[in-house]
Structure 1
């Protein structure tokens, strides 16, 4: 390689054949022996270039991994954006079906609710468009940086080392991990849950009211929910986004409303299912990873196993006495006193009582269990309350 002006030291007009690691600059032999660099760590250009290539390559791999995370997140967000529109369409249909059961004088109420749904769809779609726009910008920026650094790595040693500071600065990527998006899906529970009850003042003779509404945004992929979100059963797998709220570690779904105080109760018709679990769970439960149903994991539930044995999911689990399988079980939550009581609704006898201390929001929990024959899957149904002038 011929010596150019760039290769020579501006102070001593000598070839710069060493690299000072302390100052990260090229130096000549005289510079290396000078007071300024004498105590510094220096090495030949070829050796330094090889070291810096290794250093830059390691950082570059980190950037590439970050780009892969961004690309995967973008793909997931694209799916969520598409599903928001699909979900909005399905919710729209559900609302319309509900209103078909009512008389024409409720049309104004129907239009009001559809408008609210449309506004939520537009708002959340706009949010996702903005977030996708932002992540696209991050991807473009990171892709451009990676491309420039890869180009810099292909340069000759002298050029690479001259540009090292600038290249190193570009490696200091300020793009963080993609944010976790919560509550971005259509709030179907708000639009569909208790819809009839909310207009009960006008139609109290024909409405049904359940104390707990299921949240479809938490339902595992194999669960089918009824239109009024009061019944759940095992079904064929559905193409749903793996959003933050969704439970995928067990075939289960949460209630739409959580509790942080007071007394609450609901009765569940457990049907003829051979494996099911009902009770309450904390908002902070593991929703994606493998977990055990126990208070230590944030679950206070009982369940039927193999169709013949009833268990309280304690640690270890406790087998409960059972003369005959209960058909309807009432779950009573006393948040302030830390109690979850399970009662056989047929004769009001207590099945089991959990005692604990709650420090965060607690949600109703339902798991209808697996079923090989999907057509004969038995549902868990939240029983309607008796409606009078007010709900008791």
Structure 2
């Protein structure tokens, strides 16, 4: 009966497609329910064909026509499925799956030279294996999607923090340059411009990273949707499309690297700033041999603008995470690693009643809390509860007449010694002896609101005359 009807009798006059949920008007014309609603929403309530005014009540469904259209659609699907399950070359039913080409084939294909030496399996057996592979790929992509979303959020946080870093660094640069003579204005402008250029480069880099993450998220989403559709398809259709789906999964980019190096290098702009412009001013130039690395500072540590002092705050800062930062204990290390030669610096402890000073190995853990002792890569002096101790194994209680207001740390890397002195009378407090196997970093810890301050050294300029 369906085949005897011309297709135009089953076609909606509005959308020119097979009727979907047809309704019947009093003039005997039929339309898709949605098509008629759209027409009546934009013009008066009349038949789109004969213009006869329609009733105010909703038109009834044309059930007979609906059944005919659904039967026609079902017949089309069956014919399409029948074509899909037969070989396009030989017309035979697809009963085998070529493991080499990952495609369903017929028995004639198997005997042909194209697949003659290929291993094949029944489609039922291949279907189970292919479904397992696709389900595993889907789970892997779902896990990857979660990681990508986390990385995208971290990128967004870093984007915001870079802007903050830029503004804060500009403020610090300005505060230091205000202490200098007017002759330094040109130098200030040059350094501010360098910061702005780095900011632009970092912002461009993080935007590109975020764009790549967005593109990969979209790609993963589309691939996941394709696999989910595949898993709902007919078995043979799934097998026919399996290789294309697998190839699409392989084309997805690997996970992006971490965010190391994304932030502005604040120390490049602030470290020893006044010393590096000493040619502009010959008097009152302070040089600090050790400056703190803000990228390593625990969020509860507050560093000074010139990166030479630190104190503890119960209110942590909103700084983004990075692999260099101490996460558990209120610690920070210096900017420059020390891998040879002799080095010293003096720290003013003042009223601070809870501190550790010394050196730490470059590879010390930043994510776990460990004792600051030599076996863990620390050589430190500790003042706590009114007692001074060298953090040896076990700790050594030191007898002193009074708490030192200043502590001089002296590292002789080649000789393998770390010594602590009271610089007022150059009294040796304690000395470690160790064979170092990796570079060391100046190390600081405090959980006290009073600051620890690295004291500057005087710079002597000597002119050699020919």
Q: TM-score, normalised by structure 2?
A: 0.73
Equivalent residue number for residue 131 of structure 1 = 209
From the superposition, tell whether residues 289 and 70 of structure 1 become closer, same or farther in structure 2 (CA, over 3 Å). farther
Of 366, 378, 386, 1:299 maps to 378
Alignment match, 1:109: 187
Structure 2 CA distance for aligned equivalents of residues 50 and 150 of structure 1: 16
How many positions carry a matched residue from both structures? 381
- Among 38, 49, 66, the residue aligned to 2:127: 49
Segments of 5+ residues of structure 1 without an aligned counterpart are: 372-376
TM-superposition CA deviations, 1:93-118 (whole Å, max 9, x none): 11111122223222122212211211
Partner of 2:264 in structure 1?
186
The residue that corresponds to 1:272 in the other structure is 351
| TM-score, length of structure 1 as denominator length | 0.86
Deviation string 1:361-390 (CA, Å, 9 cap, x unpaired) is 32211111x34xxxxx12111112234436
The one of the two structures with greater contact order (alpha-carbon pairs below 8 A, sep at least 6) is 1
User: Unmatched 5+ residue regions in structure 2?
Assistant: 1-77
Cα deviation for residue 184 of structure 1 reads 2.9
Match of 1:374 in 2: none
Residue 238 (structure 1) shift: 0.5
Whose radius of gyration is greater, 1 or 2? Answer: 2
Partners of 2:298 and 2:330 within 8 A in 1: yes
Indicate if the aligned counterparts of 1:320 and 1:351 stay in contact, CA closer than 8 A: no
Deviation at 1:21? 5.6
The 5 A counterparts of 1:1-392 are 4-8=82-86, 15-17=93-95, 19=97, 24-26=102-104, 42-43=121-122, 45=124, 48-235=126-313, 236-312=315-391, 314=392, 316-323=393-400, 324-368=402-446, 370-371=447-448, 377-389=449-461
- Provide Cα deviations, 1:191-233, integer angstroms capped at 9, x if missing partner: 2222222333443443333221111122111111111111100
The structural deviation recorded for 1:349 is 2.4
What is the alpha-carbon root mean square deviation over aligned residues? Answer: 3.0
The Cα of 1:40 is off from its aligned counterpart by 5.9
- Please report how far the alpha carbon of residue 32 of structure 1 lies from its aligned counterpart in structure 2 after TM superposition: 9.1
Q: Distance in 1 between matches of 2:348 and 2:127?
A: 73
Contact kept in structure 1, 2:220 and 2:252, CA below 8 Å? no
